[in-house]
Structure 1
Amino acid sequence: MSGEGSKRERDAYPIWAAMGAAFVGTLLGGAAVWLGLAGRPAKPSSDSAAGDPLSLDASADTDAEPDASAGDRTADRRAGRGDAGEGAALEASDPGDSPLVRAIAATRDSVVSIEFAGGVRGAGVVYDEQGVLLSNYHVIEPVLRAQAVLGPEAADAQVTARFADGRARAARVIAADPDEDVAVLQLERQLRGEQPERFAAASVGESSRLRLGEQVFAIGSPVGFEATVATGIVSALERTQVLANRQLPVIQLDAAINFGNSGGPLFNLRGELVGITTARSSRGEGIGFAIPIDRIRLFLQALEDGTRGRSGMIGVSLDLRAEIAEIIAPLGFHSGVRVDEVTPGRPAQRAGLEPGDVIVAIRGRRYDDLDADLGGRIDFARIFGESIRGLLPGEVIAISVVRQGELGLPTLHELELRVEAASVDEQARIDAEELLGLRLEPSEEGGAPVIAGLVPGAPITRWPGVAALEGATIVSILQRPVAALPALGEQLALLREWTASGGRRSIAIAFRTAKGELLSTSAYPVTRR
């Protein structure tokens, strides 16, 4: 752990990009529930641009045909949704006809109110014709009774889902995630003859195609008023620092989102599901937020793939000590951080990132309030890492980098990085950084990993005598021995789950120093996200 190589390793800051593994839940009923669901594609786009009005031509395709009992046909006709030959489309001269009216009429059967404990608590949307519902974690959180894991023993975690026509069905929670604020429920299906009933599912769109100023509408149950429509425009995209998971990028709306709207769908004027409403701003009226449907689709895919709980990874290390001012100043940038190493075959390398590049903007945003000095570079690296950690595997993040071009002249490059899931060993190292503030490297003997350094700003860095941890190994954690990286990873996964639910400010941990001394404490500080 000495010499030039060791110093270079200590100065490098690896960004694997932990996305936050606070997933609470397992799949009830096995993989059959999820077969073909998580990978459900968005409805193929027509030649029209996203946001173009929905056509309600009688020959239009639908994702699922609800049962004959699913709705009031008279009400359908009044809404302009009658069967072919019964005035399916409103006449163009009808003053009540508009793209918004048609889109609302086409989507109302896929929306439900979520009820329990004697009242309406939020809303949800039918994602699959077999009765899979999407809602918010915070909507159904009370029925989970703070359970760490959902399974057969949690089968009584049920709510009632009520459709606009008054139909009520029991709905069982099958997965929930506080970090994503997403809940997945399964509707009870009644028999229609010999076949279980099918539900009218929302047509799934692509939130990546939303544009600023595009008109959207939300349907929910604000203050108990079921099936209420709120209209507005897209005010901002990829807004962060909003939810409890500060790095979760959300859609900002100017629609009136009130208590009871949470968990309900956000539609565009094509009648396509583009998000799930999740919150309103406490600092101003008329500001709401929604989780993009593209992100929810990736979340469901991670459940099916078994990668939920794995961190996103891009495969770079950052050189915090490299001076950058002379490189970025000619292009008008004030802050950033230099890329030290790029792992071959990983997302950063595939996107074209190169050693020596200086990252100067994230998601199109500069951080000019930071300086190019060491403190500013550390802060920029932290922001970059947190931005990556807020992503799910498969999500894309745009960055701007300054590169020394020919003749030494700096050039600006725009790159898009698609993160991937970390391996089991990589996840253990990521969790050690995020939760313990420890940077680990594999031991030469293949045993317990060695502590290579501390994460800047971690609580443990403020403890006296922490220098003794360099070169040490973790002997036990949570009073369980950890002889190798996989065992450590298992305990850190438990610790992450506990911290996500609000517990564990400190833990018991023991180290063996490079000199062979045993150090232990029952109050090791845990980094709270």
Structure 2
Amino acid sequence: QRAELTPAPRVAPAAGGAMPLPALLELVQPVVVTVATLRAPSLPDGRATPRYPFGGGAPRVERAIGSGIVIAAEGLVLTSDHVVGDAFGIEVQLSDERAFDATVVGRDPMLDVALLKLLGAEPLRVASLGSSAAVRPGDEVIVVGNPFGLGPTVTRGIISATSRPMGAGGLDGFLQTDAAINPGNSGGPLFNAAGQVIGIATAIHADGRGISFALPIDEVLEVLPELRETGRVDRGRIGISFQEVTTQLARVLRLPGRMGALITEVEPESPGSRLGFKPGDVITSLGGRRVEHARELARALRRSKPGDEVTLTYKRGGADRRATVRLERPAEHEPSPRPRLPDDRDGREAAQPSLGVLASDALEGARIESIAPQSPAA
């Protein structure tokens, strides 16, 4: 389901597809914004430092920047959750340098997206949101944002690959591009040659240049109505952790080959524990659909809702078993699982690091926040 957004005044996509780059930039730059935040600096273990150390003096704050996209004329801006997630002050600057305070309308840490509302903004020009479903390797794209706080900047490239996995959460459809994405671009748009948003700039590879990643816009459009209406995205919960089945694990578990999702942990008092799931069980189907990889199970659960009933087939000791489970809502104190993107600031090691590192968006200059052990950057 696509979000019902205010349609005008909207930046129209180019008729007939591609246009000269300068004309394309004139079309899209008015809908790209800079998102500046204030936050407490993090300690090495990820905890925020006190804003007023030792009970007095000037507050200790960190200024950081990201980018965003105007998606509704009344001042709704789409950006990355990690850009604004722990901020206590947000200011959004338009391409004409007008600035507005902003509040958070909704957050989805799992997809790493957030929705902001500009305070006091008059009707704004709105981005044309395209579709990432038809994106193919070789398609020309541009990234517009505010890297390193230098100001509005455009980089150009192509789609290098689609369906790239990154982290946990079943997020396996990332767009890979060689268009440069730098600190400060996070949350900004990836445009196609027609000036339509097809992705949200998210991460860079730890090990080299020319490898950047964007969250497909179709993933965002699926959750945008709920995010706008309720401020959050509710997802069903079984209460299990699981991983991919490797070739070696398949032999140990007496499986015919690599298949399914291996349960590694079962939370107490969860639907999974009440059904009797155990570490070592291998889920092979969900709702009658085969589960070939752990990411397929994660994707299906990510799109589920509390109260949904699903039937699971799983293997234990070589024997097939079936169970029907009613999904629950995560506890209020339990944060939504988020993909372990490389620039997470909470100091914890990624559960399934796939890239390993991403530079911070701090205004003082790029710096490495962390390096995941045994990642490409280690």
Shift in alpha-carbon separation, 1:494–1:392, aligned structure 2, 3 A: same
CA drift of 1:140 comes to: 1.0
Amino acid in structure 2 at the alignment position of 1:122: G
What is the match of residue 97 of structure 2? 166
2:91, 2:102 within 8 Å by CA — same for their partners in 1?
yes
Q: Is the 8 A contact 2:92 2:101 kept in 1?
A: yes
CA contact (8 A) 1:222 1:260 kept: yes
Which residue identity lines up with residue 260 of structure 2 in the other structure?
A
Alignment correspondent of 2:259: 380
Contact 2:18 2:194 in 1 (8 A): yes
Aligned counterpart for 2:307 among listed residues 420, 424, 428? 424
Residue 277 (structure 1) shift: 0.3
Matches within 5 A, 1:344-423: 375-377=254-256, 379-382=258-261, 384=292, 386-391=294-299, 421-422=304-305
User: In 2, Cα distance between the equivalents of 1:106 and 1:183?
Assistant: 24
- 1:293-319 CA distances to partner (integer Å, 9 max, x unpaired)? 111000113446879323499xxxxxx
Q: CA deviation at 1:107?
A: 0.5
2:29 corresponds in structure 1 to 108
Counterpart of 1:391, as a letter, is R
Alpha carbons of structure 1 residues 380 and 302: separation in structure 2 relative to 1, 3 Å: farther
Change over 3 Å in CA distance of 1:312–1:254 after alignment to 2? farther
- 1:126-165 → structure 2 map (5 Å cutoff): 126-143=70-87, 157-165=88-96
Match of 2:195 in 1: 271
Structure 1 unaligned spans of 5+: 1-33, 55-98, 144-156, 191-196, 314-335, 337-366, 394-418, 431-438, 440-452, 457-484, 504-529
For normalisation by structure 2, the TM-score amounts to: 0.60
* Count, aligned residues: 274
Residue 5 (structure 2) aligns with: 37
SS in 2 for 1:391: helix
Matched ranges for 1:330-341 at <5 A: none
Distance 1:377 1:109, change over 3 A: farther
Q: Deviations over 1:425-456 (max 9, x none)?
A: 538x99xxxxxxxx9xxxxxxxxxxxxx9989
Distance 2:306 2:85 in 1: 30
Greater RCO, CA 8 A, separation 6+: 2
Q: Aligned-pair RMSD on alpha carbons? A: 4.3
1:164 shift after superposition: 2.0
Pair 1:231 & 2:156 matched: yes
1:220–1:261 contact (8 Å) kept in structure 2:
yes
Partners of 1:163 and 1:44 lie apart in 2 by: 18
Q: 2:335 aligns with which of 497, 502, 505?
A: 497
Question: Given the two structures, how large is their TM-score scaled by the length of structure 1?
Answer: 0.44
Match of 1:421, SS? Answer: coil
For residues 490-529 of structure 1, the aligned pairs below 5 Å read 490=329, 492-494=330-332, 496-497=334-335
Residue 151 of structure 2: SS of its match in structure 1? coil
Counterparts of 2:104 and 2:139 in 1: how far apart (Å)?
33
Structure (1 or 2) with the larger CA radius of gyration: 1
Q: Does 1:201 align with 2:166?
A: no
Distance 2:295 2:125 in 1: 36
Q: 1:140 to 1:35 in 2, by over 3 A?
A: same
Q: Tell me the equivalent position of 1:288.
A: 212
Query: What is the match of residue 363 of structure 2?
Result: none
Overall identity of the aligned pairs, in %: 30
Corresponding residue for residue 18 of structure 2: 53
Identify unmatched segments of 5+ residues in structure 2.
Answer: 39-61, 239-244, 262-290, 318-324, 339-343, 348-378
| 2:210 counterpart SS class | coil
Q: 1:495 to 1:172 in 2, by over 3 A?
A: closer
